[in-house]
Amino acid sequence: MLTAEENEILCRVEGEAAMGQMMRRHWIPACMSEEVEAPDGAPVRVRLLGEDLVFFRDTKGRLGALDEYCAHRRVSLVLGRNEDCGLRCLYHGWKYDVDGNAVDLPTEPASSRLIELVRQKSYPVREGGGLVWIYMGPASAMPEFAPPVWEANPGTKISVVKMHVAANWAQVLEGSIDSAHSSLLHSTNIRPGVGGRTTQNGSGAMVRPTVDKAPRLQVQRTEYGMRYVAIRRPAENAETHDYMRITVYIAPFTALIPPNTLYSPTQLMVPMDDENTMFYFIISSEGEGMDTEAWRKYCGARVGVDLDSNFRKTRTRANNFLQDRQAMRLGDYSGIYGIPNQDMAMSETMGRSPIADRTRETLGASDIAIAQFRRMMVDAARAFAEGAPPLGTAMGRLREAKVQSYEAIVPKGTDWRRLGIGEAELALLDDDATAA
Ligand code: FES
Ligand SMILES: [Fe+2]
Q: Which domain holds residue 352?
A: 157-433
Tell me how many degrees the CA angle 100-278-3 measures, rounded to the nearest 5. 110
Output the CA 94–ligand 1 centroid distance in Å: 6
Average pLDDT over residues 77-103: 98
Output the CA 388–ligand 2 centroid distance in Å: 33
Ligand nearest to the CA of 79: 1
Ligand nearest to the CA of 341: 2
Average pLDDT over residues 17-21: 98
d(CA 41, CA 31): 15
- Percentage helix, strand, coil for the chain under 3-state DSSP, each rounded to 5: 25, 30, 45
Average pLDDT over residues 48-75: 98
Q: Is the pLDDT of residue 221 over 50?
A: yes
Provide the mean pLDDT of the chain: 95
Q: Is the pLDDT of residue 431 over 70?
A: no
Q: Where are the alpha helices (DSSP H) in 310-412?
A: 325-329, 339-347, 368-385, 395-400
Do 357 and 289 belong together in one domain? Answer: yes
CA 85 distance to own-chain centroid: 31
Output the CA 191–ligand 1 centroid distance in Å: 56
Q: How confident is the model at residue 432 (pLDDT cuts 50, 70, 90)?
A: low
CB atoms within 10 A of CB 162: 23
Residue 374, domain CATH: 3.90.380.10
Average pLDDT over residues 270-279: 98
**Which residues, judged by CB distance below 6 Å to any ligand atom, belong to the binding site of ligand 1?**
70, 72-73, 75, 89, 91-94
Q: Is residue 19 part of a domain?
A: no
List 435's β-bridge partners, or say none: 219
- Beta-strand ranges (E) seen in 3-153 are 27-32, 44-48, 51-57, 63-67, 81-82, 87-88, 95-96, 102-104, 122-123, 125-128, 131-135
Q: Is residue 7 part of a domain?
A: no
Do 126 and 170 belong together in one domain? Answer: no
Average pLDDT over residues 249-260: 97
Question: What is the number of the ligand 1 atom nearest to the C-alpha of 94?
Answer: 3
Do 137 and 237 belong together in one domain? Answer: no
Q: How confident is the model at residue 435 (pLDDT cuts 50, 70, 90)?
A: very low
Task: Using only the alpha carbons of the chain, give its radius of gyration.
Answer: 23
**Of 420 and 157, which is predicted with more confidence?**
157
pLDDT on residue 425: 82
Do 117 and 162 belong together in one domain? Answer: no
Ligand nearest to the CA of 338: 2
Residues ≥6 apart with Cβ < 8 Å to 216: 230, 231, 365
Q: What is the 3-state secondary structure (H, E, C) of 114-151?
A: HHHCCECCEECEEEECCEEEEECCCHHHCCCCCCCCCC
Q: Per residue in 316-372, pLDDT tens?
A: 999 999 999 999 999 999 999 999 999 999 999 999 999 999 999 999 999 999 999
Q: Is residue 150 part of a domain?
A: no
pLDDT on residue 423: 80
Residue 100, domain CATH: 2.102.10.10
Q: Which of residues 115, 141, 167 is at a domain's end?
A: 141
Report which protein residue has its CA nearest ligand 1's atom 4: 92
Do 55 and 95 belong together in one domain? Answer: yes
Do 116 and 161 belong together in one domain? Answer: no
Output the CA 92–ligand 2 centroid distance in Å: 48
Q: Is the pLDDT of residue 236 over 60?
A: yes
Number of domains in the chain: 2
Q: Is residue 5 part of a domain?
A: no
pLDDT on residue 436: 42
Identify the sign of the CA torsion 184, 344, 168, 285: positive
d(CA 363, CA 141): 38
Average pLDDT over residues 108-125: 97
pLDDT on residue 205: 84
Q: Which of residues 141, 170, 197 is at a domain's end?
A: 141
Do 304 and 429 belong together in one domain? Answer: yes
Q: Which of residues 116, 141, 166 is at a domain's end?
A: 141
Lowest-confidence segment of 281-285, 289-293, 392-396, 430-434 by average pLDDT: 430-434
Do 315 and 359 belong together in one domain? Answer: yes
**pTM of the model as a whole:** 0.96
